[in-house]
A = this chain, B = another copy of it.
Amino acid sequence: MEDQVEVVARAFVEHYYNLFDSNRASLASLYQPSSILSFEGQTIIEADPIQQKLSELPFGQCKHFISTVDSQPSVVAGSIIVFVTGSLKLVDEEHPLKFSQMFQLIPTLDGTFFVQNDIFRLNYA
């Protein structure tokens, strides 16, 4: 079971940051009306406003580099907590920015997962 949690977490992380870096608008499909995003201290609720926030971030193309992925089963059956550290390279910036981010993934009826909780912080040096 623990292995399955880790497999889902790693697949999610790869999928999420690939979408973020290549087609940010498609991230909307990972959120639902109940979803909550905290982005650098700002709280946004529901998939559509979250999608809008992610699209309006003050940088265009970027690339995430993942350093660590931790995962644990959460409380509701099948739900998973994912915790990521890494760095974020903006296209116009020489130095990557360190970040950490957590997600709570909830299983859907069709066998996939959606993001219920998403908290993102840059880790300033």
Contact = CB atoms under 8 A, between A and B. Distances in A.
A70 B100 contact: no
Nearest to A35: B72
B121 A70 contact: yes
A75 B81 CA distance: 12
Interface residues of A, number: 29
A51 interface: no
A35 to B, nearest CB: 10
Interface of A: 2, 36, 38, 41, 43, 67-68, 70, 72-76, 79, 81, 83, 85, 98, 100, 102, 104, 106, 116-117, 119, 121, 123-125
Given A76-B76, A81-B104, A81-B117, 13 more contacts: A38-B70, A41-B70, A43-B72, A67-B124, A74-B74, A75-B75, A75-B79, A81-B102, A83-B102, A83-B119, A98-B123, A98-B125, A100-B121
